[in-house]
Structure 1
Amino acid sequence: MKTFGSKLFCLLFCAVFMLIAVRGNAVDFKVKGAFDVSFETSNVIPLGVKGSDSFQALQRLRFQLDAVASENVSGSLIVTVGTNGQYWGSAKDGAALGGDGSNVVGIRAAYIDWRVPQTETKIRMGIQPLLLPGFVTDWSAVYGQFTSGITVNSPIYENNDFSIGSTFFWGRPYNDNSQNTQGGRLEKNYLDNLDVFALVLPIKAEGIKISPWGMYALIGENSLRGINDNASQREPAIYAPRGGLMPILGSGMNYFQTFEKNYRNAGNTWGNGWWGGLTVNLSQWEPWDVAVEGTYGRVDMGELKNYTQFDPKGAGKTFQLLRQGWYAAMRVDYKLGWGTPGVLAWYGSGDDDNPYNGSERLPVFNTPWPVTPLGFGGGFFDLDSWKVLGHNPGGMMGFVGSIKDVSFIDDLKHTLKLAYFHGTNSSDMPRKANMVSYPTRADGPMAYLTTTDHAWEASLSNTYKIYENLQVNLEGAYVKLHLDSDTWRGAQDSQFDDNWRVSVSFRYTF
């Protein structure tokens, strides 16, 4: 059936392109996209661990088909060939001998855009990129993912260079994934929807952008169950939000072990999440470019009574499934003719020394926060090894110095980054939360740094434009991770002190 479905999809896809060739009278079709081929060697997951290779070659094709009926109505489809990358030689990725895989094509986005008649209000409906504002890294630290939902954009006030707008979106990241068993009774697709509602008020004037925003999440008690719990998969984007919304669970346990096997009910049918933030970008003092932002968030999922995973003797206490925290960040760049030197710094609140009262870190969904190439999500190609440290600023403070887009030769640019990161979580948490193993990649932070832990990162990215539509990137990154042995009591031995990656990537855009 999978092979038949794949072939049927290809036939439908060919039919669409036949329509493009003949062009309908009412609809104008446009195609754009990117084809990436990358070669890398690394010791970062999924490479370099015991029993794994340290070299891989992979590729991915993404293209967007726009069907434009008029300036008022259009539809878009983004298709990915190699959803999580086609790893050369992998049969299941369709990249082995013969190259006829069945699970390599996926829908990245599918939505319609339309304008409300007689107004300037624009609506987008379908699977689409939903992104909260963030001017420090040009990405949100809380929510930035392709999600099924609706976005409404409408101007509020405009006068010359000054404008106030409004953007509202409703997204449904999860629904109908669980098959929860309660008292021997199967409760399929019950209380398992997670919905987010956000409002952004972008304010723009000459040389300044200000975006206050707020978001609410309605979280069903089963909404984070039933989704992929396989930590060995290459891309944990689907299930990683569980670790971003929950406190540390103790005993090295992940969400699946705690809630699917050991604990069923948190005594709270619906959980609630609240976030608020402000991000500002100042560019009127050229060549200076300054951005500042701050965010607070709180997620309450109820409580677990008689929770025993924090006490090696098995003494049960009430565990508050509460996570609330904040972060503040600032970026300053100075644009010169040959490049842009700059600094970026942030502070994120960390856990105190009481695991039972929940977490004091900022709750977040999985989002590729592009601070540095290997520690976070800022590499040239997002499928290369990354995220040694995390995908959000919670529980950590950091300082990044950079020189971006340095160019002394035509069509060749370099970006150098040097960074230092220090934990803000209590150094007593690993012991008091009985963290006998280091937090997993699947259901927790990529790294959990306490006040006794730190890391350094150095990276160099070089991009050369071979032709107008073809560029090659050579990128190298190194992360030195220091986990205090007295704090972690042997749990740190599962982590590499020296983390590295070297990659060569080719990108063809059309």
Structure 2
Amino acid sequence: MKTMKSLALAAALLMGATTLAHAATEVKMTGDARVYGNFFEGRNFTGWNKTGTKTEDNFEIWERFRLRSDFIANEGVKFRLGIKVEDTWGHGTFTAANPETAVQVDLAYLQFKYPGTDIEITAGLQDVNLPQSSMFYMSPVWSDKMAALTIKAPLIENTLSVLTGFGRLIDTNRTYDTTTTQVADELDAYFLALPVTIEGFKATPWGMVSVAGRNTDYAYKDTTDVAEWGNNFNNTLMSAASAANRTSATGLGRWKNDQNPYYWVGGAFEVTALDPVKFYADVIYGAGAAGDTKAAKREGWMVDAGAEYTGFDMVTPQVFAFWSTGEDKSTSNGSERMPYMRSYWGPGNSFLFDNSQELGKGSNMYVSPVGNYGIGASLNKMTFIENLTHRLTFVYLRGNNSARAIRYARTYLSNSYFSMGHDLTTNEYLMGLNFDTKYMIYENLAAVLETGWAHGQFQESVWGHRMVSQADSLGNNAWKVAFGLTYKF
């Protein structure tokens, strides 16, 4: 009886505390859901994973649900909690019998304005996207969640503002290192952007510095096959020699320094003064491990540019191009490709790149823009019937990488650092075509159809007979058709 009374009292106290919290805090919820079937044939142009050790299933059904709850104390203070469930039907959470529940924390941050000002401070797991002109979706250097402290502040009203912050991307050993010898096991980032807006023109110069520890675990943790490109830090930050021998005491590309700085500087530009003709461009330079061994350093450029005409009611034509430095003939002198970390970049919803696809997982060919160059065109926002829009995009690209460097790296250093169809030599090309359609059933419910085709030509002396022969058996083609529903609330 005493136990029952104690439980009743605890429940009453909890309900009372909850009622008081609700009285003081406003809760708002937003979110989205998507469910779609995805037919994909010829992933990586072979129908295999990138190392040729697994074969693809052509059809799967993906489901994702995200819920974002804002706990608002007043107009200046809130906390956002975002959760996500994402998997294929019949796997993990969506298994009929004995499901493996996998609810992920997607966002978790405190946000407030400094009293009496418009200075906004955000601390916690949040979206951090380095500046990029809007034609090219998001940044090829970093566009993802980050546990960070960021500050946004206006400097000149409606003209100049500042965004700055610090993020800890990886802390491998957390509180204690594995022995009594302290090691550098963190990857940190410091970033700054200064958006400038005047009539008809917007420019955002920006920079980021990242400090990379030699004993940090840079391996990508997502083991799903569609994410195997994974933006693995070993591959995206380091030279081929470093990725193979980073922690070794000897060997080409070994890190002699406990910590190596990486840095990026860039600018995003948009010109609307000649509206309805608008121009977009980005310039980025990145470098890292410059003070380490010669084979460990990595540096490079990437630029893109595009234009669109918005004067038509039924379509917006767009043209665009990009260029990025590639590997020279030697691996022993480091890498000439721009380092990056979390890349989501691409124009026109292109089927080749991981960018703005609404039906996300398993949605594209995951081609890297770094080390390649290309041109393309898009007929965007085509509309002939109310609530029905279309987009048609074509992209052609070639490699800027020496075949000799990739061949050597794959043979003697790391077979997975470069991958066929993801990285191109100067003798290889790809082309991709996608046609996408969206019908708004209701204001917040849409039916989406995304289709894509890609074709490539590959060098057998670089990738080997087995991989190239398998691609030839599929005509060097890849196909995707995805159809589903998206709901936003």
Q: What TM-score, normalized to structure 2?
A: 0.86
Task: Give 1:162-173 correspondences, 5 Å limit.
Answer: 162-173=158-169
Corresponding position: 1:72 with 2:83: no
Question: How many residues align structurally?
Answer: 459
Aligned residue in 1 for 2:142: 143
Given that residues 457 and 480 in structure 1 are in contact (C-alpha distance below 8 angstroms), is that contact kept between their aligned partners in structure 2?
A: yes
Aligned residue in 1 for 2:111: 113
Given that residues 115 and 123 in structure 1 are in contact (C-alpha distance below 8 angstroms), is that contact kept between their aligned partners in structure 2?
A: yes
Given that residues 178 and 223 in structure 1 are in contact (C-alpha distance below 8 angstroms), is that contact kept between their aligned partners in structure 2?
A: no
Aligned residue in 2 for 1:10: none
Task: Give 1:408-419 correspondences, 5 Å limit.
Answer: 408-419=384-395
Given that residues 421 and 456 in structure 2 are in contact (C-alpha distance below 8 angstroms), is that contact kept between their aligned partners in structure 1?
A: no
Aligned residue in 1 for 2:460: 485
Structure 1 residues 485, 456: CA separation in 2 closer, same or farther (over 3 Å shift)? Answer: same
Structure 1 CA distance for aligned equivalents of residues 33 and 98 of structure 2: 17
Given that residues 474 and 502 in structure 1 are in contact (C-alpha distance below 8 angstroms), is that contact kept between their aligned partners in structure 2?
A: yes
Structure 1 CA distance for aligned equivalents of residues 448 and 441 of structure 2: 10
Structure 2 CA distance for aligned equivalents of residues 40 and 188 of structure 1: 50
Structure 1 residues 236, 366: CA separation in 2 closer, same or farther (over 3 Å shift)? Answer: farther
Structure 2 CA distance for aligned equivalents of residues 189 and 382 of structure 1: 41
Structure 1 CA distance for aligned equivalents of residues 110 and 75 of structure 2: 12
Q: CA deviation at 1:36?
A: 0.7
Structure 1 residues 187, 321: CA separation in 2 closer, same or farther (over 3 Å shift)? Answer: farther
Structure 2 CA distance for aligned equivalents of residues 125 and 488 of structure 1: 45
Structure 1 residues 261, 479: CA separation in 2 closer, same or farther (over 3 Å shift)? Answer: farther
Aligned residue in 2 for 1:12: none
- Opposite residue 167 of structure 2, the aligned amino acid is G
Given that residues 410 and 418 in structure 2 are in contact (C-alpha distance below 8 angstroms), is that contact kept between their aligned partners in structure 1?
A: no
Cα-to-partner distance string for 1:134-174 (whole Å, 9 max, x where unaligned) = 0041311111110100110111112xxx5111110111111
Structure 1 residues 488, 80: CA separation in 2 closer, same or farther (over 3 Å shift)? Answer: closer
Corresponding position: 1:375 with 2:371: no
Structure 1 residues 471, 28: CA separation in 2 closer, same or farther (over 3 Å shift)? Answer: same
The alignment-based identity, stated in percent, is 24
More helix by share: 2
Aligned residue in 1 for 2:31: 33
- Opposite residue 209 of structure 1, the aligned amino acid is K
**Bigger mean CA offset, 346-355 vs 131-140:** 131-140
Aligned residue in 2 for 1:353: 329
Aligned residue in 2 for 1:277: 266
Cα-to-partner distance string for 1:350-403 (whole Å, 9 max, x where unaligned) = 11111111111111112221334431113222213323412xx32110111000
Structure 1 residues 88, 165: CA separation in 2 closer, same or farther (over 3 Å shift)? Answer: same
- Opposite residue 60 of structure 1, the aligned amino acid is R
Cα-to-partner distance string for 1:204-260 (whole Å, 9 max, x where unaligned) = 1122111001111111111244x446766443476623211112249xxxx4x6457
Q: CA deviation at 1:23?
A: 7.5
Structure 1 residues 488, 383: CA separation in 2 closer, same or farther (over 3 Å shift)? Answer: closer
Give the alignment partner of residue 122 of structure 1, picking from 120, 123, 142.
120
Given that residues 44 and 388 in structure 1 are in contact (C-alpha distance below 8 angstroms), is that contact kept between their aligned partners in structure 2?
A: no
Structure 1 CA distance for aligned equivalents of residues 245 and 465 of structure 2: 23
- Opposite residue 54 of structure 1, the aligned amino acid is N
- Opposite residue 165 of structure 1, the aligned amino acid is S
Given that residues 178 and 190 in structure 1 are in contact (C-alpha distance below 8 angstroms), is that contact kept between their aligned partners in structure 2?
A: no
Aligned residue in 2 for 1:308: none
Structure 2 CA distance for aligned equivalents of residues 107 and 487 of structure 1: 41
Structure 1 CA distance for aligned equivalents of residues 478 and 250 of structure 2: 36
Given that residues 148 and 172 in structure 1 are in contact (C-alpha distance below 8 angstroms), is that contact kept between their aligned partners in structure 2?
A: yes
- Opposite residue 76 of structure 2, the aligned amino acid is N
Q: CA deviation at 1:276?
A: 0.4
Corresponding position: 1:339 with 2:312: no
Given that residues 352 and 360 in structure 1 are in contact (C-alpha distance below 8 angstroms), is that contact kept between their aligned partners in structure 2?
A: yes
Aligned residue in 2 for 1:240: 232
Q: What TM-score, normalized to structure 1?
A: 0.82
1:37 match: secondary structure: strand
Structure 2 CA distance for aligned equivalents of residues 178 and 48 of structure 1: 39
Structure 2 CA distance for aligned equivalents of residues 411 and 355 of structure 1: 53
Structure 1 residues 389, 418: CA separation in 2 closer, same or farther (over 3 Å shift)? Answer: same
Corresponding position: 1:63 with 2:52: no
**Bigger mean CA offset, 257-266 vs 377-386:** 257-266
Alignment root-mean-square deviation, CA: 3.1
Q: CA deviation at 1:425?
A: 1.0
1:493 match: secondary structure: helix
**Bigger mean CA offset, 365-374 vs 411-420:** 365-374
Structure 1 residues 188, 459: CA separation in 2 closer, same or farther (over 3 Å shift)? Answer: farther
Structure 2 CA distance for aligned equivalents of residues 298 and 242 of structure 1: 15
**Where do 5+ consecutive residues of structure 1 fail to align?**
1-14, 305-318
Give the alignment partner of residue 275 of structure 2, picking from 278, 286, 307.
286
Aligned residue in 1 for 2:9: none
Corresponding position: 1:503 with 2:479: no
